[in-house]
Each structure stands twice: as structure tokens, then as C-alpha cells.
Amino acid sequence: MSDASTGQKFENPVTVTIDGRAIVAEKGDMLLQVALDNGIEIPHYCYHPKLSIDGSCRMCQVKTGAPKLAIACNTPVVDGMEVDTQSEDVAKARRGVMELLLINHPLDCPICDQAGECYLQDYSYGYGREEARTASPRRKGLKRHPIGPRVVFDQERCILCRRCVRFTNEISKTDELAVFGAGDHSHIGTAPGAPLDNAYSVNTADICPVGALLSSDFHHKRRVWFLEETQSVCPSCSKGCNVKLGMFKNEIQRLVPRRNDDVNETWMCDHGRLNYAFAQDETRARDAVVRGEAANGSSPVVSTDDALKEASAKIRATIDAHGANAVGILGSGALTNEEQYHLAALARDAVGTSNLDVIVPTGEADGFLIQAEKVANARGAREMGVSPGESGKDVAGMLAAAAAGEIKLLYVIGSNALAEAVEADALQAAMDNVDTLIVQDTNVGPWADKATIVLPGQVWAEKDGTFTNHQGRVQRVRRAMSPTEGSYCDGGLFTRLGALLGGKDPAGARFDARATLAEISEKVSGYEGMSFERLGSLGVVLGEAAPASAPAETEEGSAPAEPA
Amino acid sequence: MTAEPAVVAPVLPAALRERIVAEFPKYPEKRAVLLSALHFVQDTFEGWIPQAVVPEVAALLGLKPIDVWEVIHFYAMFNSEPVGRCHLRVCTNLSCCLRGARGIMRRLEETLAVRPGEVTPDGNFSVGEVECLGSCGTAPVIQVNNERYREGLSEDDLPGLLDELRTRLAEQDAAKDEE
């Protein structure tokens, strides 16, 4: 799609005229998609660019010169075709379709989550009748029915476009949904004992053009028009699915996928979509902590600046007593490239240790979107230099060295991820023997509770920066949440700690993501030409950003609007 | 991805399985045998299709279970719930309704004291509404099991129809007792 709207070449170009506008398109492409690619809106329900053509809703009828109106979704363009999407007979046909779709629709928009992003509402504006012509009671059906563990079904609202059926057939390939019954009794359903339960099930709620299938997680949570949406990337694995974060009063209400044909098409997995509570629940680490003799009276809670000073002192003392390689730094794959860059600099220049590596919890991959690396930016971490230096130790090596007493101080960024990534026994042995444990984490956990020093980190939703996905596509992460006042992002903690270790004033060591990316673009191979503007909304593959004169994409990207 | 059908112990009797397989040569592809197969299943299982046989029928015909369910629910002649020995399908499409099908349906429900989806306590009768049976010219129409249509009915014809069916069931029971 992104190619189709940016001055592309066609193998068999044909010229069609839509509402008097001459448009060049590929021969055989479907008229509806050609119109949408060129910014001409033709109302539709059943058509979806990533699913097979159904042709069942009849909403996209247009005049093509054929004796009857044609459905644009299934009409291939041919040279010289003249199309009228606005004439009175087209409008009349659409009004007819709308009237039939609404005959049994409950019109319970005031309590429907879809309200505000509903195609039935939108098109009613253009083609709906003011009053019904029938007095018959509306058909009754299942309401608030859990059709699967993560999707709620409202049978009365369904218009039988079959998008969800095609999704489970063609995309998730799990075949849970089908149209049951015939005629007036047709309805979407599942086979007995086989609910809608697959790793991608909530996408059916995204593509449902009405309020029939809804995300259980978002059900009756917030009116969509109160959401502030920020374009970002999912943090739950190295795929980097493009998402929008729907925010309300500084809290994430939902994640929805955002179209990027080179990454996630227009889908995301249920796990990634629903894995956001950690960003805002009571497990967030908000306080800096210093335990032991340096503790401030009875409460171990200190200012982050004081905790950084203590961390710097402990690291300095360890280096002085045992050498720099008595310090081991376990980095996080959840940090942005810009933060990773400063972590690598901190380890290499300020501490001088070669014991540096990135923690990468792994799990199942499914060959579609779900990747084995369960953090977003493991690749970026390695490319920024968060990897063992010369004769330095990796994660397992550092834990073994700590258990053996060679490493005296462990600086763990992401202790919960570490517990996920390594054997519990190896971790326990390391922690039992290490003199000083510094934990920097977004969330509390068993190791943060035991650490000498805790530095609260920030989650991806609080940051501006970039992630590099498993394919080497560098993508923008945008701040959607305001961080706790006075807290520093992980990059800010690294720059300040680096300054303290170098005997400088940490107040002068502010972290600047934009400036850091500029530095990365000069120093890290493959990142030439990368900038926030160059990455736009869809990201750029490593090595493809230079020359810097390439045209910048717009913030909105080129993907057409999709029914939510 | 999940939702693989659970492995179930075979419930298709060997004779039924053979009867389905024997149909294969009559059709260009196996999936086309589905309607016949479902009729055979209903013959074997007292007029309805138990849930447990669906994955097996699907596997036999190279289909997914959901495809079979879709067909079972599309056609009024297939029952996914137990039915009476005499299952009365009342056409409630437009022509039949204009000629009194609603009244017939109501009378049957009252007389037999069953609602659609229920079976009389003796197991003899069940009723259901169906879409057009294709006999609008002789509306209203009832079909009992797979027999020929009862056409041009009125509510007054119902006691006679039910008597006829009760007599037949009694004769069947008597014949069974003699065996």
C-alpha cells in the first residue's frame, strides 16, 4: 500500500476516471482499493485489504457504465473505465443497503464501545433514514456473550460481513468462527466446545466494522473519543508491531495495531496487546532505594540523585579494590537505542569493564508475528555495543563469575527480565555471593527487594526514542505517558551515573534522545541518516536511511485509514 | 495456534462409516458427500447429529469441523439436538405465515406442550420452525421427519395429523414388542 500512493510504477497501467478524476492504476486491481489508495472514500463494510473479497455487504456499489450498479470491491479496473461514486442511483442503493442493515440493529450506540469508530454510525450520517418504515420488533440475539476468553460478542449488532470468519480462516488459520443458520436466522458462531481462542483473537474486534465483536479488556472501559492516541511500537517481543496507545488521564486504556505492511500488516498478537498493565499498576518501581549502612534513617527511600551518588560510590570502591572487571553490567533489551548507546558508553568509558551484556528472555515463536526474543530491542542493544567487551563475560558468564566471587558488584537493568531469562539456581548463586547488587527496573520484584541500591526506570510508553526490530527495522517509540515527576529515564540514569563516576556534576549530564540518535547516526554502522523525522511513522531498515536527502515520510504515514 | 479439535474416541459405527465411504465414487470430490453423510448419521442416531461425531465426519471427508457445523446449522433438515421420533417442521416463511403458519405452530406447541428445541416426555414428538420448504403454492406446509409434505393445512387438520402419527408410533411399538 505504501508504494501505491507514492508515485509508483505499474506493470500494466490503465487509466480509470473516478468522479471525473483520471487515475492511473494497475490493470486488474480492484476498483475499491484503487479509489481508497487515491483518497476517494467509497463506503464499505465487508471489504478488508488483508482478507479475501466477500462481496456480501453491497455497500460499495458504484456506477461503472455496466447495466447494473457494481460492487467496487470486486470490480477489476480496466482501461477507460468511467466510475461514478456520487450519483443519485448510487446514493439510493446505499440508502437501501443501510435500511436493511439497520432493520434489526439495536441502535444501542450509547452503551456500545464501537460508538465513535463505527462504520455503521459513520455511514448512517450519509445514507441513513431518519425513521424506520417497519413497526416489527427488532430481532433479539446474544448480548455480551463471551465468544472467547478475550472477545465479547453482541449478536444483535452483527451485520454478517464475515470479516471475522475470514480472519480465523485466512490469518489466524484457526477456523473458530463461521456463519450458522440460514436466511434471517444467520448468525456468527463457534462450534460447540471450541471458543474463539487463538493467539490473535482480538484482531477480530479491530476489524469488526460495527460493535458486534469487542475486546473484553476494553469493554465498557472508556468512550473512544476521550482517548488520546500516540503512535508507537509494541514492547512485548522483537517483532516491533506498530501500535497506537490509547491514553486517558495518563493511563494506557488499550493498545491497537497500526498498519505497517513491512512489519505486522495490520495485526498484533493478543499477548502484546494486553501486556501493558505493568506500565501503570502498583508494581511500578517509583522510589529510589538505598539499603544497608548508607540508608537514610529508618526508611531506605532516597532521592534518585542520592541513589545515583551511592551507586557511583559503590562502583568506584569496587573498581579501586578489585579492578573494573569486578563490575558486571547486565543490560535490558527493553531500552531504546539511545539509552543503550549511553549504557555501552557508561560501561566502556566510565566504569571500564568489559563485562557487559543484554538480558534477553526467550520463549515460543510462531512463525507469524510472535518472536522468540521477548523484548523489543535486543538487536538494538547489541548494535549499540551492549555486549561483552574483549574477553568480557556474557550474562551466564557474569552470573558464574559472581557466584565464584570474581565479580563483586552486579548492576542489573531489568531484574525481573533476568529472572525470566536465566536458571533460578544460577541467579541465586550469583546473588548470594555478590557484595553489591544495584537493580534498575521499571517494576518491583524479588531482586529489587534485596538490592543494595534500586534505581527506578521508565517504561517504553514514557520515552521518546527508537527500537530496532528483529528484521533490522528502526522504529520510533513515542512518549504517551508523563513519567513520575522528578524521575529519570534509563538513559538519564546512565548519563548521570557516568558523570558522577567521571567526577563531573550530574546536573549537566542530561539525556537527549534526539541528539543521541544524531550521534548514533554518525558512529554506528547501518544507522547512517537515521533521525526521528527520517523514521516517520513506519520506520526505516538499517542501511536505508542514508542519504540524508531522502524525502521524509509524514507523521501519519501512507497507510489508509482502517475501520478500527 | 490453538483450537485443534480434541482427539475423540471413534463414535461412528463401522457400518455407518462404510456407508459413507461407499458414497465416495458417486461424487467428484469427498466433501460433496457431506449432505449424504449427515443424513446417514441422523438415520443411525435417532434423527439427530451428536456433537462427538462431527470431528470424525469432518476428518473422513477432509473438512474442518467448523465446515460441518456450518452445514448442519444451515439446513433445517439437520438437527444438532435430540428430536422426537416424529419431528414436525413447520414452514414459517412468508407464504406459509400469510396462510396461517403462526397459528399452526402455536396450536402444535399447545397441543403437544413442547416448544422448539424440546421433546415430549414420551420421546415421541418435537416441533421446529423452518425456512421456506419450497411449496408456497400449497402453503401452509409441515414436514414430518423426511416424509412427503403435508400441504394446505389448517389448524383443524392438526388433531387428525397427530392421531395418524400416534397410531403409527403405537403400531411400531407393538411390532417391536412382538420381535
Q: What is the DSSP string of A161-205?
A: --HHHHIIIIIS----EEEES-GGG-EEEE-TT--S-STTTTHHH
Q: Say which amino acid occupies B178.
A: E
Q: Is the pLDDT of residue A91 over 70?
A: yes
Percent above pLDDT 70 for chain A = 95
| Angle ∠(A394,A518,A258) on CA atoms, nearest 5 | 80
CB-CB neighbors (< 8 A) of B69 in chain A: 178, 180, 191-192
Contact A185 B64 (CB under 8 A): no
Give the CA dihedral B67, B70, B72, B76, nearest 10 degrees: -150
Q: Which of A538, A555, A560 is nearest to A37 (CA)?
A: A560
Cell numbers for B32: 460433496
Q: Give the closest-approach CA distance of B86 to chain A in angstroms.
A: 22
Distance CA A466, CA A474 (A): 6
Q: Do B66 and A192 touch (CB under 8 A)?
A: no
Secondary-structure percent of chain A, ordered helix, strand, coil, rounded to 5: 30, 20, 50
- What percent of chain A clears pLDDT 90, i.e. is strictly above it? 88
Domain A288-541: give its CATH architecture.
3-Layer(aba) Sandwich (3.40)
pLDDT of residue B131: 85
Tell whether B9 is within 8 A of chain A (Cβ): no
Cβ of A367 under 8 Å from any chain B Cβ?
no
- Å between A371 CA and nearest CA of chain B: 14
Question: What is residue B179's predicted lDDT score, i.e. its pLDDT?
Answer: 77
Give the model's pLDDT for residue A132: 84
Can you give the residue ranges of every domain in chain B?
A: 14-74, 86-178
**Are residues B131 and A183, on separate chains, in Cβ contact within 8 Å?**
yes
Chain A residue numbers with beta carbons less than 8 Å from the beta carbon of B54 are: 191
Average pLDDT over residues A434-451: 96
**What is the rounded CA–CA span in Å between residue A75 and residue A60?**
10
Of A106-110, A171-175, A197-201, A244-248, the one with minimum mean pLDDT is: A106-110
Give the minimum alpha-carbon distance from B72 to chain A in angstroms, rounded to a whole number.
8
Contacts A204 to B, Cβ<8 Å: none
Question: What per-residue confidence (pLDDT) applies to A555?
Answer: 47
- Taking residues A96-102, report their average pLDDT: 93
| Closest residue in A to B51 (Cα–Cα) | A192
Residue A251: what pLDDT?
97
Question: Which of B51, B66, B75 is closest, CB to CB, to A178?
Answer: B66
Q: Say how many CB pairs under 8 Å bridge A and B.
A: 54
Contacts of A167 in chain B (CB under 8 A): none
Using a CB-CB distance cutoff of 8 angstroms, which residues of chain B are in contact with residue A173? 1
A194 to B65: CB separation less than 8 angstroms, yes or no: yes
pLDDT score at A7: 54
Q: pLDDT band for position A561 (50/70/90)?
A: very low
State the pLDDT confidence band at A370, using cuts at 50, 70 and 90: very high
Q: Rounded to whole angstroms, how far apart are CA atoms A196 and A216? A: 12
Of A190-199, A360-369, A522-531, A551-560, the one with minimum mean pLDDT is A551-560
Query: Which one of A166, A174, A176, A366 would you mutate to disrupt binding with B, by most B Cβ within 10 Å of its Cβ?
Result: A174
Is the Cβ of A177 closer than 8 Å to some Cβ of chain B?
yes
In chain A, residues under CATH classification 3.10.20.740 are 13-86
Which of A181, A182, A191 lies closest to B65 in CB terms? A191
B1/A174 Cβ within 8 A: yes
Q: Cβ B131–A198 below 8 Å, yes or no?
A: no
Residues 6+ apart with CB under 8 A from A296: A290, A302, A306
Sheet with A151-153, side-by-side order of all strands? A145-148, A151-153, A213-215
B1–A178 C-beta distance less than 8 A: no
Please tell me which of the candidates A173, A191, A200 has its beta carbon nearest to residue B69: A191
Residue A6: pLDDT over 50: no
Residues of chain B contacting residue A181, judged by C-beta atoms under 8 Å apart: 73-74
C-alpha–C-alpha distance, residues A199 and A272, integer Å: 10
The confidence score (pLDDT) of residue A215 equals 98
Residues of B in contact with A189 (CB under 8 A): 73
Q: Among all residues of chain A, which has the CA nearest to that of B69?
A: A191
- Rg, Å, chain B Cα set: 18
Interface membership of B116 toward A (CB under 8 Å): no
pLDDT of residue A319: 97
- Grid cell in block for residue A113: 464501545
DSSP annotation of A30 reads B
* Interface contact B73-A172, CB threshold 8 A: no
Note the CATH architecture for domain B86-178.
3-Layer(aba) Sandwich (3.40)
pLDDT tier at B9 (50, 70, 90 boundaries)?
Answer: low
Nearest-10 Cα torsion for A65, A67, A73, A77: -40
Asked if A180 lies within 8 A of B73 by C-beta distance, the reply is yes
**What's the mean pLDDT in B109-127?**
95
Compute the nearest-CA separation of A180 from chain B (Å): 5
Instruction: Out of B2, B69, B76, name the one closest to residue A180 (CB).
Output: B69
Pairing verdict, β B125-130 and A151-153: unpaired
pLDDT tens, residue by residue, A467-497: 999 999 999 999 999 999 889 999 999 999 9
Give the closest of A178, A179, A197 to B3, CB-based.
A197
Report the pLDDT value the prediction gives residue B177, as an integer from 0 to 100. Answer: 86
A226 part of contact set with chain B, CB < 8 Å = no
Q: Residue A442, exposed/middle/buried by CB under 10 A (0-12, 13-18, 19+)?
A: buried
B43 Cβ contact partners less than 8 Å away, ≥ 6 residues apart? none
Cα angle A81, A84, A87 (rounded to 5 degrees) comes to 155
Residues contacting A496, CB < 8 A, separation 6+: A305, A308, A488, A506, A509
Chain B (15-74) residues lying within 8 Å, Cβ to Cβ, of chain A: 51, 54, 64-67, 69-70, 73-74
Q: What is the ipTM of this complex?
A: 0.81
Q: Measured between beta carbons, which residues in chain A are less than 8 angstroms from residue B131?
A: 182-185
Contact (CB<8Å) A182/B65: no
Is residue A155 less than 8 Å (CB to CB) from chain B?
no
Mean pLDDT value across residues A291-312: 84
Q: CATH 3.40.50.740: which residues of chain A?
A: 288-541
A261 touches chain B (CB under 8 A): no
Main-chain dihedrals φ then ψ at residue B164, nearest 5 degrees: -60, -45
pLDDT mean over A189-195? 94
Instruction: With CB atoms and an 8 Å threshold, state whether A197 touches B2.
Output: yes
- Strands A82-83 and A13-18: what pairing? parallel
Task: Read off the pLDDT band of B146 (50, 70, 90).
Answer: confident
Q: Which CATH topology does A13-86 take?
A: Ubiquitin-like (UB roll) (3.10.20)
Return the half-sphere exposure (C-beta side, CA atoms, 13 A cut-off) of residue A12: 7
Q: Give the mean model confidence (pLDDT) for residues A539-554.
A: 72
CB spacing of B75 vs A182 below 8 angstroms: yes
Chain A: closest CA distance from residue B22 (Å): 28
Q: Give the chain B residue whose CA is nearest to the CA of A199.
A: B1
Q: Which grid cell is A144? A: 455480551
For chain B, say whether A424 makes contact (Cβ under 8 Å): no
CB contact under 8 A, A199 and B1: yes
Contacts of A180 in chain B (CB under 8 A): 69-70, 73-74
CATH number of the domain located at residue range(s) A134-279 in this protein: 3.30.70.20
Contacts of B1 in chain A (CB under 8 A): 172-174, 198-200, 366
Q: Which residues contact A425 (CB under 8 A, 6 or more apart)?
A: none
Q: Which residues are paired to A18 by β-bridges? A: A21, A83
A interface mutation test: which of B71, B74, B79 has the most A CBs within 10 A? B74
pLDDT for the residue numbered B1 = 47
Chain A CB contacts of B2 below 8 Å: 174, 197-199
